[in-house]
Chains A and B, each alone.
Chain A
Amino acid sequence: MTVTDMALATATRGPAVVSGGTEEFQLFVRHEQGDLAAREALVRRFMPLARSLARRYDRSSEPFEDLLQVAALGLLKALDRFDSGLGHPFASFAVPTILGEMRRHFRDAGWSVHVPRGSQERALKVRDAQERLANRCGRAPTVNELAEYLELSTEEIIDALQAIQAYESLSLDAPRPGATDEVTSYGDAMGAEDERYELVELDATVSAVLGRIPQRERQILRMRFVEDLTQTEIATRVGISQMQVSRLLRRSLDQLRALTNDDKPKR
């Protein structure tokens, strides 16, 4: 490349490169000639870009440090492939290259293995923290209180709350911290109260519909909608987590709706 070429390249590179200037361009020229010190200087100069992309890429439960490594790898690839002679700013070439590396990482290895496990672990942590805080304060915590306690963002807590609704596997059989022998199983907790419940007078159709809902869900529905207990109070009585109460309520109301619709005469 001649001096004229270099001047041309600088002149045509457009406004985005103003902050970089000719020093950066010289580094690229030296790097393309195999100068390792120039390569190192370029890596240092553009690591903040790689870091910013790793931070901005929606990573769900992927640890940030892992993603940063992938972004750094993308940066090295971008440096190797970049042709400063074409006159484009490096950043506009590097952004898609680095993002491409992160996307590949998620598609090849990351997503199917790490993310579901990571978010499931976090969902369990949130569930357990909810119980500890509820025991400590005598009432259910807010999302901000959970976020502060677990040192997570409010968005991470909300994602966990949503995940708990979806995970069947975080179910009633999972051991809970502080569970005592008094409530050895779900069925034991339910039995005594349920007999009283059966005495409530209901008309035939209602009984028929309710009869198709499992016993434990019937009990929880009754506590929430007839006795007007809070979900945390129900959780304590039954010996499960509030989040499970929430999930069971949603599921059984859905079932009730479906059964009620089935029983309606078809139009």
Chain B
Amino acid sequence: MAEPPNVCLTLSNQPENVMLVRETLSGMADTVGVDGADLNDIRTAVTEACNNVVLHAYEGEEGPLHLEVYLRDETIEVVVRDHGTGIKPRIRTEEEEALGIGLSIIQALAPRVEFKDVSGGGTEVRMEFAAPASTMLDELLQDGFEPPQVASGELATTTGVAVAPSSLARRVLPRVMCVLAARAHFSTDRISDAELVADALVAQAPASSTGEHLTVTVHVEPRNLELRVGPLSSGSSQRLIASSSLGGVGPVIERLTDDRQVAVDGSSETLALRLLDRR
């Protein structure tokens, strides 16, 4: 069984998604104690790998960008993958020269780099960085990881994130929500509410106690965010909402969202939460 990543993002190759990747890395660094200067190196190298996907992988078309982060005893590995046309080795135009600089930057900042072809077309850049001693997260991850599914027709407006364990999710998911709520033109009020919902999901989702990944896909429209949480086991959605109830303030998830729907699919289900900004 392949080793599951601690963080897995499925994004479209739009330029603004590079920021989402960078914020995810900052959340990771907060959790495992990567200091500012080392985080700068990681963010710079990974940004260059993502920019390659944004600018070159799909020749001006839209396509998926996958990010995976593996936290190990002594290393942090970040994988950036596309299913595009691959990195061309020849450098003829100015734009391609910029690409060449990007690859040099990655090689200069990551102690280990590997460029691989993806079967069926595409490129994978695996970058390994030294990890601080505190990287080890206590919880073990469960096998059987499924990356977040985003239909290709929805890619432009939908972002998938899966993260484990919950100590990492605590720092990563609210940051991702902040970026996506900002993209949905939410006011700072509602951005904060979206982060509070993310906090509640991390604390209350069944995954938080079982070592499973918390998987959320977020659909962004102007002043409208839809979070799809799951797949969850049957009946988990209602329990999740009920367990977000805190003394005196009621079920936090219910109070902060505008709509809640459960979609059942066989033995699993997905909880869809809608947040609107009605200003």
Contact = CB atoms under 8 A, between A and B. Distances in A.
A140 interface: yes
B23 A52 contact: no
B249 A95 contact: no
B interface bracket (residues with beta carbon within 8 Å of A):
35 or more
A249 B256 CA distance: 12
Interface stretch (B97-105, B117-125, B145-153, B259-267): B97-105
Given A99-B109, A115-B36, A142 B188 contact: yes
Given A221-B249, A253-B252, A96 B91 contact: no
Contacts of A215: none
A49 interface: yes
A254 B246 CA distance: 10
A59 B189 CA distance: 28
Interface of A: 15-16, 18-19, 49, 52-53, 56-60, 91-92, 95-96, 99-100, 103, 106-107, 110-111, 115-116, 130, 139-144, 146, 154-155, 157-159, 161-162, 166, 200, 202, 205-207, 209-210, 218, 221-222, 224-226, 228, 230-232, 242-243, 245-246, 249-250, 253-254, 256-257, 259-260
B247 A206 contact: yes
Nearest to B223: A142
A242 B192 CA distance: 9
Given A18-B92, A53-B105, A250-B199, A143 B182 contact: yes
Nearest to A98: B108
B240 interface: no
B43 interface: yes
Secondary structure class of chain B's binding surface, majority of residues: helix
Interface of B: 19, 22-23, 26, 30, 35-37, 39-41, 43-44, 47-48, 89-92, 94, 97-98, 100-102, 104-105, 107-109, 175, 178-179, 182, 185-193, 195-196, 199-200, 203, 246-250, 252, 255, 279
A165 B48 CA distance: 28
Nearest to A17: B91
A16 B187 contact: no
A130 B17 CA distance: 25
Contact of A140 (B40, B90, B94, B187): B187
A56 B48 contact: yes
Nearest to A263: B247
Contacts of B23: 158-159, 162
A155 B192 contact: no
Contacts of A106: 36-37, 40
Given A107-B37, A249-B192, A210 B247 contact: yes
Contacts of B186: 142-143
A120 to B, nearest CB: 13
Contact of A231 (B30, B175, B192): B192
A144 B102 CA distance: 29
A57 B248 contact: no
A253 B200 CA distance: 9
Given A16-B100, A56-B105, A155-B22, A144 B36 contact: no
Contacts of B41: 103
A210 B252 CA distance: 15
B188 A140 contact: yes
Contacts of A142: 182, 185-188
Contacts of B36: 60, 106, 111, 115-116
Given A106-B37, A154-B19, A250-B195, A96 B108 contact: yes
Given A162-B175, A221-B248, A144 B185 contact: yes
A245 to B, nearest CB: 8
A56 B248 CA distance: 49
A107 to B, nearest CB: 5
A232 B191 CA distance: 12
Given A209-B247, A230-B189, A253-B246, 17 more contacts: A58-B47, A95-B108, A96-B107, A110-B37, A140-B279, A142-B182, A143-B191, A158-B179, A202-B247, A202-B248, A207-B248, A218-B248, A221-B249, A222-B248, A226-B248, A242-B189, A256-B247
A130 B188 contact: yes
Contact of A253 (B47, B182, B185, B199): B199
Contacts of A254: 199
Contacts of B189: 139-140, 230-232, 242
23 contacts: A15-B91, A16-B91, A19-B91, A53-B101, A56-B48, A57-B40, A58-B22, A58-B47, A95-B105, A100-B108, A111-B36, A140-B187, A140-B190, A142-B186, A159-B26, A200-B248, A222-B248, A225-B252, A226-B248, A232-B189, A245-B192, A246-B195, A249-B196
A48 B187 CA distance: 39
Contacts of A110: 37
A256 B187 contact: no
A9 B48 CA distance: 30
Q: Which 9 A-B pairs have the closest CB atoms?
A: A140-B187, A246-B192, A143-B182, A96-B108, A95-B104, A206-B247, A225-B249, A209-B247, A140-B189
